[in-house]
Amino acid sequence: MGVPVIAIGVPTVVEAATIVANTFDILIEKFDEFDFLKDSSYEDKYKLIKTVLEPSKYNLAVMPKEIDDLVDNMKEIISNGINYALSVNHT
């Protein structure tokens, strides 16, 4: 059709490996038993978990239970931002 389009994406799911890697950071902070992971980068922890989960098909994509509210909030934020950017007077 030849019409320029701008697409705005809002992520609504997260991989299980991401959740577990973030959980490692909490465990390291709260429990001395996990001190051996302190020197590991987030990327290293993520790669380790993903390597374990991928072959067993457990690296699921999950979404938060309050996704409907989050989408409604993001809809308002994005539409207000676009309307503000397109308005002539930014007063």
pLDDT in tens, 17-38: 999 889 988 999 999 998 888 8
Is the model's pLDDT at 90 over the cut of 70? no
Query: Binning pLDDT at 50, 70 and 90, where does residue 2 land?
Result: very high
The candidate with the shortest Cα–Cα distance to 17, out of 55, 63, 61, is: 61
Residue pLDDT, tens place only, 37-64: 888 898 998 898 899 988 888 888 999 8
**Residue 64's closest CA among 10, 9, 2, 3?**
10
